[in-house]
Amino acid sequence: MFITTYQDPDQFLLKVRPTLQKDEVTHGLLLGVAAGVKKSALYTSFYLATIEDEGRLLVAACMTPPHNIILASLEDESDAAFSLLIQDLQRANWPVPGVLGPARISERFAQMWEKLTGQSYRVGLFERLFDLDKVVPPVRAVGRLRVATADDLDLIKHWMFAFDQEAVHGEDQEVAWQRAEESVRGRNMYIWETLDKRIVSMAQKNRPLVNGISIGPVYTPPEERGYGYASNCVAALSQLLLDQGWKYCSLFTNLANPTANSIYQKIGYRPVCDFTVYVFAEH
pLDDT tens track for 213-236:
999 999 999 999 999 999 999 999
Mean pLDDT over 185-199 rounds to 96
User: Does pLDDT of 77 surpass 90?
Assistant: no
Question: ∠ CA(76), CA(82), CA(84), 5° rounding?
Answer: 135
Q: Is the pTM of this model over 0.85?
A: yes
| 180 CB-contact burial (10 Å; exposed 0-12 / middle 13-18 / buried 19+) | buried
pLDDT at 40: 76
**C-alpha dihedral, 232 to 234 to 235 to 239, nearest 10°:** 130
pLDDT tens track for 29-58:
999 999 999 887 778 899 999 999 998 999
Query: Could you tell me the end-to-end alpha-carbon distance of the chain, in angstroms, rounded to an integer?
Result: 30
| 36 CB-contact burial (10 Å; exposed 0-12 / middle 13-18 / buried 19+) | middle
Contact status, residue 223 vs residue 199, Cβ threshold 8 Å: no
* Domain annotation for the chain: domains and CATH numbers: 2-119 (3.40.630), 131-272 (3.40.630.30)
What stretches of the chain adopt beta strand conformation (E)?
A: 2-5, 47-53, 56-63, 69-73, 98-102, 121-132, 144-147, 189-193, 199-206, 212-219, 248-254, 270-280
Mean pLDDT over 263-274 rounds to 96
pLDDT at 260: 86
Mean pLDDT over 58-64 rounds to 97
pLDDT at 283: 59
Give the residue from 113, 99, 22 showing the smallest Cα distance to 62: 99
Average pLDDT score over the chain: 94
